Structure 1
């Protein structure tokens, strides 16, 4: 029979303080069993104060046994000293030794006490899952996160957070756990501060690898500014001199929206365009060459083209929602040379799993500014929102009203079209 780890207690002013102290002692090798608030009397019995009592076990039992050789931090059993199982066991053994010396019926009493020990052991094993056993709610959360293509590091982060913040009793309520996990996912999504786009003239540069739809995205952004400011002077610039089709495509979009479009090949070309437009320019959007994230020489050359004296553009990295996590890491790392602050997620409508994107955004500490959900200009483009990402999660039960209260509804420019969601609904 495997030995169950004895429960320990940690007392502190708040739950967070208790968890912090537990982590200092045991790292991540613990599981919270119970938490409760109790009142204690003040000095001389005057006044009362509240404190948090957290009961936990160490999941790496060998480490716990080793820790028992060290003296406890407190003589009253508050910090680190085992309670419950070990104390009751010791009392039974002491009782056994006393009765063994004082009673003639030692064999019978020994049998009774042995039964007590077995019952106590069984009670603890029923209460505390063995390390080899998985908790059903945690296992299910792991499976759902994997299905949504979250990275292993992101899944580990969520699992450790579940173990540290939920008691065993709470873990039996899967809806409680999944609702909290969805909130954690939302809290880890950083949105770009749109107020940074209020300066004039506003120069926006879109960079990214081939095939992510940069040209169409630039046209959508231009259309957004055309709708938001009908009297604004907007210009689109293409420096994709290798693809004539890209320049022609941008010119066609510009013609439909009454937005001038110009080609540029050097930094001097862009400077001349800026001087030509002068003070009337409100927004300039620059479409760049699609490059392999591993073509460092070409990336360096394009960086020089965009190095314009006195120009402080807002640079966005365009990435496809369907790109696997390992490739996203490479893309985001290798395009750092452009100093981009935020990303634009394209082809959002072409995948049902966005855990890959959310995982890497969290790893790289990058925000998301806009989402492109289709090919139609200007319709299929909107300001990024936490709710849009959460509604895209599959196999989770999404409480939209609750999430709207916590994270705000979809933005005013959100499109009214079908996007694959967990319930197949229309957002």
Structure 2
């Protein structure tokens, strides 16, 4: 019995080739899976060997080959399209170390020419080529330890800088992977290049949305978890439109305030005090139907209606659903809903807030208490994933002066340790990102 071997990337392809050559006159004896590594394990190639015999009948077949040729076939089957294999190895070597790129380029060109000409290449030639390239890489690696150290130092420095600014593990991991993928080895040697690249990605993570220009009544609603400062923020917004803007435009808008917050002790009293100071009316509603009644009335006689809502924990799904009932009651009105979040919140907490409050279909964010946090990384990490724009930022307790229209530079001012930050903040990022009207 004559033993033959067929090699292919998968078992199915190997059997397909055997059937094509020998038909059904085949006995499969053994299947073996092989893993071959090149370049110190950086390149791995998987193949399947099938050992088989052929039942020789009385009739001759064009597939029958003398035993010497069969042995040649076994040897040749171990390397399919060796010129293509050489090209893959050489191109992989280029990616491993840019220092040998120019040295292997002529070899790649020659291999491509041979592949076009269908010139056969023996397995021994591929083995020799592999050994040669491994030697080149080892020599270059041993002769340039300083370059490798500098690359590692630049990555370590930017990783430490992001950690010091409280960026999330996910943001840091993705940034490091992106640096290695998008920057050349030469660029990775320069920490200035690495820093400027990461700083640009941070800036791209922040999107600003300017307040809309409305011809009718604006219905501005603030939602968000407990303790983020919704009531104070709403008072600042009301003061801005009722006190500050008229001084600039000479036009006095008609402003009304509604609160649905009957849960927190003193919430209505706090808002009532703000309204007294500004000379505004406050309406406290107890049920969705009452909310609908006042919203309908105010559409006819008011320019801006502000609505304060209960603060609920993002894990308090039952009470959040109860808040949604108020919104369902006024579903026919055009609402301008803003999710209010604390600038000092952890990235994981912000992700949960974004998820749970998505029921309210908020159009943008209001970031509060920027003055109370020393690190902005968690916020930017969450923003980079949610891609939700910011419209307003609060920077203190004073009403109304500590309310500002959102800007990238205002957030960048909280970053620490970035030497190129001053240069970047010299640019105008006020309308940066996905600006929407």
Q: TM-score range by the shorter chain?
A: 0.5 to 0.7
CA contact (8 A) 1:319 1:345 kept: yes
Structure 1's 404 and 79: CA in aligned 2 closer, same or farther, altered over 3 A? Answer: farther
Structure 1's 242 and 197: CA in aligned 2 closer, same or farther, altered over 3 A? Answer: farther
* Displacement of 1:365: 2.4
After superposition, residues 102-141 of structure 1 pair within 5 angstroms as: 121-127=138-144, 135-141=152-158
The residue aligned with 2:198 is 181
The residue aligned with 1:99 is none
Write the deviation string for residues 364-396 of structure 1: whole angstroms up to 9, x where unpaired. Answer: 221222111111100111111111111211111
After superposition, residues 364-379 of structure 1 pair within 5 angstroms as: 364-379=386-401
Cα distance in 2 between the residues matched to 1:199 and 1:129: 64
Structure 1's 293 and 329: CA in aligned 2 closer, same or farther, altered over 3 A? Answer: same
Unaligned runs of 5+ in 1: 1-58, 91-113, 411-427
The secondary structure found in structure 2 opposite 1:405 is coil
* Displacement of 1:164: 2.4
CA contact (8 A) 2:150 2:189 kept: no
Question: How many residues matched?
Answer: 327
Unaligned runs of 5+ in 2: 1-37, 47-78, 95-99, 108-130, 433-437
Larger mean CA deviation between 394-403 and 378-387 belongs to 394-403
The residue aligned with 2:163 is 146
The residue aligned with 2:332 is 310
Cα distance in 2 between the residues matched to 1:150 and 1:232: 42
The residue aligned with 2:174 is 157
CA contact (8 A) 2:224 2:230 kept: yes
Give me the CA root mean square deviation. 3.6
The residue aligned with 1:391 is 413
The residue aligned with 1:240 is 261
Cα distance in 1 between the residues matched to 2:363 and 2:264: 27
After superposition, residues 243-322 of structure 1 pair within 5 angstroms as: 243-307=264-328, 308-322=330-344
The residue aligned with 1:4 is none
TM-score (norm 2): 0.66
The residue aligned with 1:218 is 234
Write the deviation string for residues 31-88 of structure 1: whole angstroms up to 9, x where unpaired. Answer: xxxxxxxxxxxxxxxxxxxxxxxxxxxx995242539998676987898364648959
Q: Does 1:80 align with 2:91?
A: yes
CA contact (8 A) 2:151 2:189 kept: no
Structure 1's 77 and 406: CA in aligned 2 closer, same or farther, altered over 3 A? Answer: farther
Structure 1's 183 and 130: CA in aligned 2 closer, same or farther, altered over 3 A? Answer: closer
Larger mean CA deviation between 121-130 and 379-388 belongs to 121-130
Cα distance in 2 between the residues matched to 1:265 and 1:172: 63
Structure 1's 287 and 141: CA in aligned 2 closer, same or farther, altered over 3 A? Answer: same
Which of 307, 324, 333 is 2:346 aligned to? 324
Structure 1's 87 and 293: CA in aligned 2 closer, same or farther, altered over 3 A? Answer: closer
Cα distance in 2 between the residues matched to 1:374 and 1:284: 24
CA contact (8 A) 1:212 1:318 kept: yes
The secondary structure found in structure 1 opposite 2:91 is coil
Larger mean CA deviation between 294-303 and 63-72 belongs to 63-72
Write the deviation string for residues 151-191 of structure 1: whole angstroms up to 9, x where unpaired. Answer: 11111221122212322222232222212211110011111
Structure 1's 148 and 275: CA in aligned 2 closer, same or farther, altered over 3 A? Answer: same
Rg (Cα) greater in structure: 2
The residue aligned with 2:225 is 209
The residue aligned with 2:359 is 337
The residue aligned with 1:64 is 43
The secondary structure found in structure 1 opposite 2:367 is strand
CA contact (8 A) 2:208 2:391 kept: yes
Which structure: greater helix fraction?
A: 2
* Displacement of 1:340: 1.2
CA contact (8 A) 1:202 1:283 kept: yes
CA contact (8 A) 1:318 1:343 kept: yes
Cα distance in 1 between the residues matched to 2:81 and 2:305: 67
Structure 1's 181 and 232: CA in aligned 2 closer, same or farther, altered over 3 A? Answer: same
